[in-house]
Amino acid sequence: MRRCNVGKIAFLMAGQSSQYPGMAKDLYETESSVRELFDRAELLRPGTIDIMFNGSAEELKRTDVTQPCMFLADLAAATALTAYGVRPDAVAGFSLGEIAALAVAGVLTAEDAFRLVCRRGELMQAAAERTPGGMLAILRQDRETVERLCAEHGVYPVNYNCPGQIVAAGEAARIAEMKEALAGAGIRFVELAVGGAFHTPYMQSASEGLKAVLAGLTLQGPKIPLYANRTALPYPADTAEAVSLITAQVSGSVLWEDTIRNMLADGVTEFIECGPGKTLTGLVKKTAPDVSAFPVGDVSSLREKGVLCCGEKQP
């Protein structure tokens, strides 16, 4: 397989809230490698393909449904890109996207990563039902201001997305109070389409549950640098340390801006967002406006990227 004539490429695996009915359907219908991936996952969790392609937006919002579906959509794009000769030199995933990134980096097989993400979704859904919550993207404010506002309202700064965009999460009542306060102060925010207070201490039970799942799986050292949400640094080769990062991730902050900056410092020159939407592409552009970033989530974008990068599809 011919290597693309560019510098270092990073795959960025999309996170929750970018899902939509029908995502990755054309990749499934067009690319045999994607079809094989989905069919193996369907044996492990029957009904996943149907809800991805035919489910409603409301059904796909449930965390225990969203996560396995988004995982497959993310990995579908990465798998199809590989079929076009586009191979990553590094990988990172936003929140649940980090589980897909574990598969891309070879830490887990695709099947084991799917098993993990299915259980992750169930555990996080259960935690969200115990403590209903929400998440707000706070815009055009610096870290210190957002952290102060969060402390004042009893919520948590959880996703450091890019300059001027930090996500807060917390209990539903506290999030409602914060929305009123932000609106009153003229501070812009966007409520995220998620079903809980993710990446907060309210998810600690999910962190504990993931330890039991990972105890039954075989982890390998990353074959390419895999940047962790918790540290913004590459995963270690040590299995125990990797397990600690995976389990702590669901109840801790996502240092995404720092991750992108560290990848740039390590020589990444091009970012390809794998999965539905173009949220991560936008975050990259806001962090490093001059860098190359491109979303791939369907056949049209796949073919455009494959031709731009490699000239033609490789066998």
Judge whether 251 counts as a catalytic residue: no
Per DSSP, the three-state class of 288 is coil
Kind and range of the H or E run holding 9: strand 8-13
- Name the catalytic one among 17, 18, 153, 199: 199
Domain spans of the chain, in order of start: 8-129+200-310, 132-191
**Within this chain, domains 8-129+200-310 and 132-191 share the same CATH topology:** no
| CATH node for 8-129+200-310 | 3.40.366.10
Judge whether 95 counts as a catalytic residue: yes
Mean pLDDT of the chain: 93
pLDDT tens, position by position, 70-117: 999 999 999 999 998 899 999 999 999 999 999 999 999 999 999 999
| The token pair that represents 53 in the structure block | 């392609």
Residue % of the chain over a pLDDT of 90: 88
**Do 275 and 14 contact (CB within 8 A), yes or no?**
yes
pLDDT value of residue 16: 85
- Name the catalytic one among 18, 95, 251, 301: 95
pTM > 0.85: yes
| The token pair that represents 293 in the structure block | 């970033």
| The token pair that represents 34 in the structure block | 């994607």
Q: Does domain 132-191 have CATH number 3.30.70.250?
A: yes
Nearest to 217 by CA among 123, 120, 112: 112
Q: Mean pLDDT, to the nearest integer, of 113-142?
A: 96
Nearest to 159 by CA among 247, 261, 255, 263: 255
**Cα dist. 272→160, 201, 245, 295 in Å?**
20, 31, 24, 6
